[in-house]
Structure 1
Amino acid sequence: MLFELVNSTVADVSHKANVDYHTVDSLIARYIETDIDFSTIETLGVLGLDEISMKKGYRDFVTLITYRVDDKANILGVVNYR
């Protein structure tokens, strides 16, 4: 469900998955680390940045930082604001 947030909002993902908005918001808080342990990352490969809105129309944005190695996408971190 977290990757559904790419190019989408939390509200859109909650609607598509038929779950409450707070469920998606809780997934972000639970599974996205706030600190990055770079010693566990062997190579970054291709980096990606995507801005998502946490609330539709409220300008509550976060930037999603991802990296792709061997056709596997990984979330590196989430940065508040733009």
Structure 2
Amino acid sequence: MTVKDVAKELKLDWHTVKALEKEYLQEQLRRNPVVAPKTIGIDEISLRKGHTYRIVVSDLKIG
């Protein structure tokens, strides 16, 4: 769900929702600092036949 969708659903201003999201994310980073991966894996997966793909990036040391 986008910030715009949440603002519309809750009948709030977009800037209010964005500020709350930013505050939440800052608190999450404070609680769980980001550690740079030592080894990364990159893969491409197909969601369905045709040309719908997603790229998956993972830390191979953690899983």
Fold-level similarity (TM above 0.5): no
More helix by share: 2
Using the size of structure 2 for normalisation, the TM-score is 0.41
Using the size of structure 1 for normalisation, the TM-score is 0.33
Bigger relative contact order, structure 1 or 2, given CA contacts below 8 A and separation 6+?
1
